[in-house]
Amino acid sequence: MKHDTVVNQFKRIGHIEDANILPTIGMEEPWRYRNKTQVPFGLANGDVVAGFYQKRSHEIIDMRHCLIQTEISDEIIHEMRGICRDLKLSPYNEESNTGILRHVIVRTGFKTDEIMVILVTRKEKIINMDRIVSRLLEKFPQIKVIAQNINPNVTNAILGEKTNIIYGEGYIYDEMNGIRFAISPRSFYQVNPVQTETLYSKAVEFAGLTGEEIVFDAYCGIGTITLFLAQHAKKVYGVEIIPEAIADANMNAKLNGFENTEFAVGKSEEVIPAWIEQGIVPDVIVVDPPRKGCDKTLLDTMLEAAPKRIVYVSCDSSTLARDIKILVDGG
């Protein structure tokens, strides 16, 4: 089904009839693969519920098990239900903007088994926070970080601006492809680490690196693809608009002893032309944009830079097809 979707979108949107769309690479074990769980808490008939929203509604459907999340995530969410009841931690009420606990987020390091729990609350001051922490740690000793994110706004955005580290050093660690990554509460880190290794290894393969290339990595996040590329390139330059992500990227490069990476905060369509003006000419450009695809200015910049190869990692094949058409038409 996915293969047919990509073929059709390349024909219909990209007007490319002869694209070589290779077979889809699926998972051997497509269950319990997510390393991040975000579950809203609320009240239904006077009792605490935690689960997911019913389609096209704001009603939370209570859930004990989710087969694409880790078992320990399910257990932590269930324990938080009991904590809400026992320690009078009131769940959030969306209609009246009352209550305290909005979401519980669980992040897991698949290779390290380290766990981070983030409690998203409406107010900063929480009664019994010390008892909440001790109860979680007693039941789940593999928890390395407990954080509190404060979101006082009437919004469907999960996270607020402020995050306090309640327990631990503020990071958990995970490994992919022999590279160690530090993950903070707000870090973007791909939610399916098994397929991420498959995906990024394929991106490196398509980049055709020999160890002599200069590579630009646009939308680099915390430097995941950058460090995969840096294992095989002369130098990799990463750019990302989120300052915290670049701080994490620098930390991850240092953590793994990479000295052939350089990161910049800013818009790809502004930073990359500045690099080229400085005389840094890319042999390969790798992009991994959000669902809306690449900014038109960035596509123009890539055409002007004329690298030997462009590797486009996409999470939406319709915007991929649109952008590929622009790149193909541009030469």
Catalytic sites, residue numbers: 315
- Residue 99 gets the label, from left (phi > 0), alpha (psi -120 to 50) or beta, of left
Strand order in the sheet with 60-62: 60-62, 47-53, 36-44, 101-108, 115-121, 143-150, 162-167
**Nearest CA among 68, 16, 37 for reference residue 317:** 16
Strand partners, 263: 238
| 253 token code pair | 């490069």
